[in-house]
Structure 1
Amino acid sequence: MAILPIVEVPDPRLKTVSEPVGGVDDDLRAFMDDMLETMYDAPGIGLAAIQVGRPIRVLVIDLQELPEGETDEDKRIREPLYFVNPEILEVSEEVTTYNEGCLSVPEQYAEVDRPSWIMARWLDYDGNQHEEKIDGFLATVLQHEMDHLEGILFIDHLSKLKRDMVLKKLKKMRKMAA
């Protein structure tokens, strides 16, 4: 497995609409393993293939939740999820607001409204098809990552003023780090 470089704004590749893959094979599984290792290293909880430069409809998610009452970060439970050619079939009218961040827009966060639940269809790591109603935090993360497949970043859901403020803070942070 390998840690891949993460594409960050303003790289134009992040605006690319990703292409479906023909199916799941050993090469795609190896790539998804690399994506997962990259995501854990970053650290993050979701990563779309375009964020590592490949415009294909693949993403990985691991919420890495702590067990009830646990505070030790090393005790996080890893339960990776793999989504190949994911589709949203239906969305709730009810909306949930979450303070989102993104590995491609490092250390910047903003509140984004998204449907509270979605009905989704996808292929998993082994190429098995799933169709499931997903709600809660996983629904938010899956919608965020699926936006990447359409060339949409979480900051694109913000007003122009808020988006410009986020980008200005990111530019300032990069300048101070240089």
Structure 2
Amino acid sequence: GYAGTAVFSKVEPLSVRTSLVVAGQPDNEGRFVALEFSSFWLVHTYVPNAGQKLERLKYRTESWDKALFAELKALDQSKPVVWCGDLNVAHQEIDIHDPKGNKNKTAGFTDAERESFGGFLASGFVDTFRHLNELVQAYTYFSYRFGARGKNKGWRLDYFVVSSTLLDNVVRYPL
């Protein structure tokens, strides 16, 4: 697919899945890979961006998110899950430099995206960075325009989310 995800591992996984069924169709954008290891699943995704005019918002929240979250919950039934990647959502106001200027105007900071992700977290998964750094404002993405990095005007779009049963194994998460 055109989006593409990859995982490099020194340990050979027991199995690998590279397809996610979204709205009854296989996702052909290359946005999903799940690796099964002996004691956990590692899932890497590049979640679709809703677009400049939010033209893919409905697809993202009503189709993609629902399919992905169902898959993650199903995997979690067999082994705990570590989910990482570009999730294309700034979940809380602290995760974006200008929450008021972007709320419901910019992909990644709409109520629909934030509520979708928040609902998933409430089902037994944990945002590891926010768990360990409750009040830290840190970003993983900076626009190339307007010197955003130098001005620390960014977004936290990249995450490590784990099954709550793995939380004791999470000890540090610097950005």
Give the TM-score normalised by structure 1.
0.29
**Bigger RCO (CA 8 Å, 6+ sep):** 1
Scaled by the length of structure 2, the TM-score of the pair is: 0.29
Q: Which has the higher strand share?
A: 1
Structure 1 or 2: more helix by fraction: 1
